[in-house]
Amino acid sequence: MTDLNIQFTCPDCDHSFFLDSEEILESEFLKCPSCGCALSEEELRHLRIAINYMKEKSTH
């Protein structure tokens, strides 16, 4: 399986960080390592859909 690292920029503190796609799919919630601001459930759901889509693309 291809490793996907996804870059985030925190909307609260502008801190940029990378998360592993597997971590995103397996985590209950995600938060900024700098300020602890959590992603909303909706954002996380969209993100998971996008990751699954990218994974499908990369395996073909």
Q: Please give the residue ranges that form the binding site for Zn ion (CB under 5 A).
A: 10, 12-13, 15, 32, 34-35, 37
**Smallest distance, Zn ion to C-beta of residue 44, A:** 15
Of the pair 38, 49, the CB lying nearest Zn ion is at 38
Residue 42 CB, nearest approach to Zn ion (Å): 18
Residue 21 CA to residue 6 CA, distance in Å, equals 7
Nearer CB in complex with Zn ion: 31/52:
31
The alpha carbons of the chain give a radius of gyration, in whole angstroms, of 12
Quick one: which of 29, 24, 16, 23 has its CA closest to 49? 24
